[in-house]
Structure 1
Amino acid sequence: MDNEQKLTYLASFSHFITHGYMTLLPAVLVVIAADHAMSFMDIGIIANIGYFLYGLGAFPAGHLADKYGSKRVLTIGVFGMAIGSLLVGFSPTIITFGIAYSILGCFASIHHPAGLSLIARRIKSKKGKALGLHGVLGNVGLFLTPLIAAGCTLLFNSWRAAYIIFGVIGIIFAIMLYFIRIDSEPDLAIFDLISRNRKKDKEIAQQLPNTTEEKQQPQKYIIPASLLMLYVGSILSGFIFRGSLTFFPTLFQREIHFITNHDQPVVIAGFFTTAVLSLGLISSWFGGYINDKIKRPELFPMILFVAVAPALYLASRFTDNALLFAAALFSLFFYAWQPAQNYLIAKYTRKASHGKGFGINFFLIFGVGSIATASGGYVADNYGIDRFYWFMSLVALVAIGAAWAVYLLQRYQFRFSWQLAREEEGTT
């Protein structure tokens, strides 16, 4: 296995386990709410905090990945997620559950800027294919987790078992990630992270993309207009992603009668959520593959949302088998968006700033998009969960316009007369 294949699989499995951690809560949401006598609004607020931190942490994670190396930061993230998952599993009260879930969200925020910058920097050819595989394994985490969580709840008669099992798996993978070597990527060593020794800093600078010459030459601060519109699309898509993913199991339990009347509605809803989300494997792979082939990748997200908007509307109107069909249609198209978005973020950001670019992107997707959990919980309590899917169809219509603007504005840039630069050490 060559270096590019190795780093692709490591980053992709990290994506798998990250989405696994953050999908456990939707899968057992109904059980936790009943266990603690909480409303959907209350648990939605806790989830909102965790998901917001999941996005907010992407800011510093992207900066650290650019400065210290993607593999180093990714290793810390995997270790932290594993510990956070164990803390959630053993939390005795709803307060400690909320604190532990916040810790899990903080460390989970590291993967996307670190893992994707690792691929964007080190993959020289077939970058779209690597991003596609990354997306596929992320979706494997999405669709397998509800089934695993439901199975653990049934087998151990406790929602906690799923978090504990995932925590153990995470520790094993973190140890593997620590010892596996990747060319040109510095490995995790605590001394290197806290030392301010100039020799160590020089060694790191040689391994990471060098921007010294750029800093020495005064230049204008330039932001591609298309990049800003990509970030607008991130907010809209993040809302749809978090809202649909969080409430699919609940929607199925409420609106599909053979699930509602079953002896184990949580297990059956988890099974059908898994089946629906598994279609995202096809779209994730295709979303990465097609970007290596087409001349105008900016148009691809717009085409996807043209299909996503009616699929969400139909999901809000249908019940039983028709609802399953609408949900499957949504999954088949929507999950092609992420690898396409990652491809465009890499295209419109400088190599030395990939970590920051992905950090901003995933803060908007997971941080700002996390308001879908609290708002969805409010709508579910007061109007019915189906109304929330109707609202998300309107968000998808706006996303069509944002995606179209990315294509229209690709030749435009915002230029500023000031320069954003960091003061070098030793200067006053």
Structure 2
Amino acid sequence: MAAGRAGTDAYIAPGPTRSRVNRNDRSIVGLTMLAHGMVHTYELSIPIFIPIWLVQFDVVSLGPVEVAVTSATLGLLVTVGYGLFGLGALPGGVLVDRVGSRRLITACLVGMAASFLLLGVAPGLIAVTLAMVVWGVSASVYHPAGLALLSKGVEERGTGFAYHGIAGNLGIGLGPLLTAVLLLFVDWRTVAAVLAVPALLAAAYAARASFDETAAVTAADGGDGADSKASSGIDSFSEFVSESRVLFAGSFALVFLVVMMSGLYYRGVLTFMPELLAGFPGFEPIALASLLPAGLADALGVSASGGRTLSPANYVYSGLLMIGVLGQYAGGKLTDRIPVERGIALSFGLLAVLALLFLPVANLGFVPFLAFGAVLGVALFVVQPFYQATVAEYTPAGTRGLSYGYTYLGVFGVGALGGAVAGAILTFATAGTLFVVLAAFALVAAATGVVLARR
């Protein structure tokens, strides 16, 4: 199996492992786990800030023009960052062969830290948008750099990719949870600045860590790296165009449609989820002082009149993402047991049904939605090993790296438009319309799986 999105990102069937992992492997796996977890921590913490921005900012000043802040406005704003996150993956994959993984990962971590520091001092949404741009560009190079480093530097690749995937899922769930907890005690700008610190520390480690980026390839080639996979890559734009043309001439065009629909659904359902849930029965904000013993509340400086509240929607959102670990595991196992085309048809069919059930179940209250959210969390991530494995089956080995570059472009780049679509629909139509559109995305992917199976 080959790599894909983390939280999303990589499903590699573990091969046989030795009892001990060598020092080079440990250094590389440690760095990539750290960086992978942080990429998804920042990525999925952003929706936690959206309800706050909707309240705090009234207009976006564009010189003489002022634009009202709505869900549509913020949908476009986050789409800028998320879109660059995906669009940069393709040139990032080419760049990693030129400058090496360590430099790109270090730059990624420094850039993400800088973006959240900028977010921490942002006076308005223009500065917030600039911070999102910095984050998107910085984060975009991680997946090609991190996966290339694991594939070329780690001898125990199965173990390395397994730990890498686990770290990504932990970032997906724990990042939003940490953000929500910090917001109980400090304002959102302070939270953003605090979140920048781990990336700075990780960048310092990346710059100083000692490892051989091509140890596994060199060993496999008997020490001759001159003509190894470590030195392969696209050498010219004409070669890039010709290889891309070959790739899309086959069934990969249909697979690319699947990954685009997956990205649109994923980003569309998650970007405004905390804001949406906050309006349903059982998700009303709870005064923090009412949950703490009087002595502890006084020690923490939390008073009943202080206005600090706990938002159940934020914690349900975080829990839904965290349970996605089970979806990744289940999807990985199922790819070895059923045809991937059938898996795509069934899993995306389930996502379509869940989209149509979202609002009716949310209206039933907090407890029923917990069970529904667990199923949705698993389903969101179970599809990823299926389409990642499908990419491997429908592309020639010689263009495998390029094919995964396009996969990230589809999921993260085109998929980022899901946030803008969701924001526009919530502003100009209804939440019901949004979930019908999301169901349509999933049905297109499911139907494409059926077409692939028949071909």
TM-score by length of 1: 0.80
- Aligned partners of 2:351 and 2:439 also within 8 Å: yes
Mapped contact 1:7–1:119 kept (Cα < 8 A): yes
- Tell me what 2:15 maps to: none
Question: 1:62–1:358: 8 Å Cα contact kept in structure 2?
Answer: no
Deviation at 1:10, TM superposition (A): 2.9
CA distance in 1, matches of 2:389, 2:154: 12
How far 1:29 sits from its partner (Å)? 0.6
Once residues 204 and 270 of structure 1 are traced to their aligned partners in structure 2, the CA distance between those partners, rounded to angstroms, is 51
- Separation in 1 of the partners of 2:101 and 2:398? 12
* Counterpart for residue 135 of structure 1: 165
Q: Report how far residue 398 of structure 1 moved.
A: 1.0
2:357 counterpart of 1:314 = yes
- Whole-Å Cα distance in 2 between the matches of residues 133 and 89 of structure 1? 31
Q: State whether residues 133 and 285 of structure 1, in contact with CA within 8 Å, keep that contact through their aligned partners in structure 2.
A: no
Q: Find out whether 1:401 has 2:447 as its counterpart.
A: yes
Q: In the alignment, is residue 155 of structure 1 matched against residue 176 of structure 2? A: no
Q: Do the aligned partners of 1:113 and 1:356 also contact (CA within 8 Å) in 2? A: no
CA RMSD of aligned residues (A): 3.2
1:281 maps to 325
Is residue 283 of structure 2 the alignment partner of residue 259 of structure 1? yes
**1:197-216 deviation line (CA, Å, top 9, x unaligned):** xxxxx988767144799x99
Distance 1:244 1:139, change over 3 A: farther
Q: Deviations over 1:344-363 (max 9, x none)?
A: 44555566755533322112
Unpaired stretches in structure 1, ≥5 consecutive residues: 187-201, 410-428
1:208 corresponding residue in structure 2: 230
Structure 2 Cα separation of the partners of residues 169 and 261 of structure 1: 29
Provide the residue aligned with 1:240 in structure 2.
Answer: 265
* Paired AA for residue 170 in structure 1: A
Which SS does the other structure have where 1:249 is aligned? Answer: helix
Identity percentage over the alignment? 24
Aligned length: 387
Task: Measure, in 1, the Cα distance between the counterparts of 2:425 and 2:309.
Answer: 22
* 2:209 aligned with 1:180: yes
Maintained 8 Å contact 2:286/2:311: no
Quick one: distance in 2 between partners of 1:408 and 1:73?
42
Can you list the C-alpha shifts for 1:201-232, whole angstroms capped at 9, x where unaligned? x988767144799x99xx99742734322211
The answer to whether the 8 A contact 1:309-1:396 is kept is yes
Equivalent residue, structure 2, for 1:229: 254
| Letter matched to residue 50 of structure 2 | L
Change (3 A) 1:94 1:222: closer
One of 193, 199, 207 as aligned partner of 1:170? 199
Which one-letter code corresponds to 2:256 in the other structure? Y
Alignment pair present for 1:23 and 2:44 = yes
1:143 to 1:97, Cα distance in 2 relative to 1, 3 A: same
C-alpha spacing 1:51/1:212, structure 2 compared with 1 (3 Å): closer
Q: Secondary structure at the match of 1:335?
A: helix
